[in-house]
Structure 1
Amino acid sequence: MSAAPAFSTDQPSFGDRIHALWGRLGGTQLPDTVTMTNGRIEAEEVLVSAKLAGRVADVLVDEGQTVDAAAVVARMDTADLLAQMAGAQAEVRRAEKAAAEAEALIAQRDSELVLAQQEYDRASTLNARGYGSRQDLDLRKSQLTAAQAARVAAEAGLEEAHAATDAARADVARIQSSLDDSLLTAPRRGRVEYKLVQSGEVVGAGAPIVTLLDLSNVYMTVFLPAREAGRLAVGDEARIVLDPAPEYVIPATVSFVASDAQFTPKTVETQDEREKLMFRVKLRIASSLLKQYESRVKIGVRGVSYVRTDQATAWPAELAVKLPQ
């Protein structure tokens, strides 16, 4: 008498299990080309972080608050930066004054050079006619050479003053940029998920202050076996039914299909299904629809999704789009 097998090979397939679940949810026979699986609503997370180390003067938002793009969510203490700005602006004024003095010196050197040139020309003419001495001509030539050298030095001084002015202005611009960065703004419209820092705390450079959820980029992540995932294309229609509101059917589209298979996370499927390699798929809800129902959007809500492996298949009546009024 042969021994009994250690385990049965007649395990229900993934498709059999989702059809059974569909039946328990009260639906009619689910078409073979419509795949059902579960997941949860997620959203793109945005961190609003401090660019520079310092003290947080004030956090201006609360968790759950919706903020517009460019809205100020926190302010950093700027006492040190304001002091640096005052010093930098003083350096700009000092450099501009030095440049003005250098320009005046050039004008003076130009006048001296013209006079030295005239005296040299006069001494040269007199010497050529036999009325001037060679010594006087040499003296005038030396004075002309000195005047030319002084003019060149004055130009160099002006260039140096201009360079100092540019450096001082660049320092002002740098400090102003830091002052601008002390106002932490929302990069896009979203809802405050976490307030990670309280007013008065000292943080390091790059420390996150507030976490925002981008309410225009909400999706459900699901996992499908290769035979279903391989038939999907980006842009295919999908449907989402949330556990807290099973009476509504939310339209979505396939926005991502992973190129590599992976084990299904424990939070998504049952233990026997985790033994299979699955493909991650993202079902994105249209931003226009999200804006219309922005106050109702909640992250982490679980539900069931439906995708069609054949776009020619009509959606069952139970999966016709139905939204709150």
Structure 2
Amino acid sequence: MDFYLILIIVLAGGGYLYHMLQSPGLPEGFAQSNGRIEATEIDISTKTAGRISTINVREGICPRRDVLAQMDTRTLAAQLSEAQAQHRQADSNVISSRSALAQRKSEKAAAEAMVRQRTAELTAAQKRLTRSQALVRTNAVSVQQVDDDLAVVQGARAAAEAAKAQVAAASAAIDAAQSGIIQAQTKVDAALATQHRIEADLDDSQLKA
């Protein structure tokens, strides 16, 4: 009887030991399973073709939002510098055009003042001629005086017409200056758009996770 009891205990202990050796336990809260992990391949590219200057990660290591690679941007950088220079030049042209407009307006104001002066001189000359023509009938003045007054009137009239022509020319110059401002501003907008496009290309030259 004792022999069979000992045999049962030995067999039970052996079975338990075999089970423990074949099925190693895991800490509480953990599970065990069989499977495999497959990587997902994703193709990335920049908007513009070019050469890669630096690669910042190793294969299989890809932190999120990190810069994976940097394209060669020397050509874009040169284009950006050129666009910035064109932008500055365009801004300068706008300033110059506005200055020219102010000058043309000043010239027009001076021409208008000259018209008023010449018109006043013409009016005075016409009055003197009218008096001379009345007095010559009574021999109060000579015919030569009438002729002289007539010459003054004709000169004053020519001067007044010339002053009016200067006003017209100044008005045309103002229109041209205003058109120049519009054209210069258009070039500013175009240069700025080019600059922003190149800056966007530079930003896109970084390949990010």
Does residue 100 of the first structure (1) align with residue 95 of the second (2)? yes
Aligned residues: 146
- TM-score, normalization: structure 1? 0.42
| Aligned twin of 2:193 | 170
Runs of 5+ unmatched residues, structure 2: 1-35, 128-152
1:161 alignment counterpart: 184
Residues 128 and 54 of structure 1: is their aligned pair in 2 closer, same or farther, counting only changes over 3 Å? same
Aligned counterparts of 2:37 and 2:87: Cα–Cα separation in 1: 55
Task: Identify the structure with the greater strand proportion.
Answer: 1
Is residue 2:81 matched to residue 1:86? yes
Cα offset for 1:80?
0.8
Matched to 2:105, the amino acid is D
Q: If each structure's helix is expressed as a fraction of its own residues, which one has the higher value? A: 2
Tell me whether 1:62 sits opposite 2:85 in the alignment.
no
Q: Looking at CA atoms only, which structure, 1 or 2, has the larger radius of gyration?
A: 2
| Per-residue deviation, residues 84-136 of structure 1 (Å, max 9, x unmatched) | 11111111121111111111111111110111111112323443453653212
Measure, in 2, the Cα distance between the counterparts of 1:142 and 1:121: 13
Q: Output the amino acid matched with 2:47.
A: K
Q: Is the 8 A contact 2:62 2:68 kept in 1?
A: no
Deviation track 1:23-81 (CA, whole Å, cap 9, x = no partner) reads: xxxxxxxxxxxxxxxxx98787542212211101122222322422x321111001111
Determine the C-alpha separation between the residues in 1 that align with 2:39 and 2:172: 71
Distance 1:66 1:81, change over 3 A: closer
Report 1 or 2 for greater relative contact order, CA contacts < 8 Å, sequence distance ≥ 6: 2
Structure 1 gaps of 5+ residues are 1-39, 187-325
Equivalent residue letter for 2:174: R
Classify the secondary structure of the residue corresponding to 1:67.
coil
1:124 counterpart = 2:119: yes
The letter for the 2-side match of 1:143 is Q
Separation (CA, whole Å) in 2 of partners of 1:90 and 1:66: 39
Q: Which residue in 2 is equivalent to 1:139?
A: 162
CA distance in 2, matches of 1:121, 1:46: 80
What code does the residue aligned with 1:55 have? R
Whether 1:185 and 2:208 are equivalent positions in the alignment is yes
Residues 188-226 of structure 1 deviation map (CA, whole Å, 9 limit, x = unaligned) = xxxxxxxxxxxxxxxxxxxxxxxxxxxxxxxxxxxxxxx
CA distance in 1, matches of 2:158, 2:198: 60
